[in-house]
Amino acid sequence: MSDAVTSSALDPAIAGRLKRDANGLFAAIAQQWDTGEVLMLGWMNDEALHRTLTTGRCTYWSRSRQEYWVKGETSGHQQWVKSVSLDCDGDALLVQVDQIGPACHTGERRCFDAGGELEAVVGIPSR
């Protein structure tokens, strides 16, 4: 296991419902609370979730830097938590946020803007 697995003050009732990958991480989808826009995918561990729930600011685990980061701490593009939901399998969270500024590190509003639509590439039939 990586350094992402650390002791945490996360409520044991919540921690017991989480399914983590081999590195102790689970996916966290950030969604704009009032429009439903899917903004980004980040990774959390128990401590990142604990910090998110107790501060009201999204805290993620950086897989490349192996450290915690609070969204907007350096850029000013903050995520203020409105709600957090666990999916049916316990391996992903939906974090509804009020996003201030762009969510993507490229400066785009959403991380899914720069990649482009794949339906034309894979031939998904239109209705």
Provide the 10 A C-beta neighbour count for residue 26: 23
Assigned domain for 127 exists: no
Helices (H), the chain: 12-15, 46-55, 119-122
Assigned domain for 104 exists: yes
| pTM of the predicted model over 0.75 | yes
Assigned domain for 4 exists: no
Q: How many domains does the chain have?
A: 1
Structure tokens at 21: 């990958």
Query: Helix, strand, coil shares of the chain as percentages rounded to 5?
Result: 15, 30, 55
Rounded-to-integer distance, Cα 26 and Cα 118, Å: 25
Assigned domain for 67 exists: yes
The pLDDT value recorded for residue 3 is: 47
Assigned domain for 39 exists: yes
Query: Residue 19's domain is classified under what CATH number?
Result: 3.10.20.810
pLDDT in tens, 67-113: 999 999 999 999 999 999 999 999 999 999 999 999 998 889 999 87
Assigned domain for 3 exists: no
Q: In terms of Cα–Cα distance, which of 37, 14, 13 is closest to 93? A: 14
Assigned domain for 103 exists: yes
The pLDDT value recorded for residue 48 is: 98
Assigned domain for 121 exists: no
Average pLDDT, the chain: 90
DSSP characters over 9-28? ---HHHHTT----TTS-EEE
The pLDDT value recorded for residue 7 is: 75
Domain hosting 44: range is: 12-109
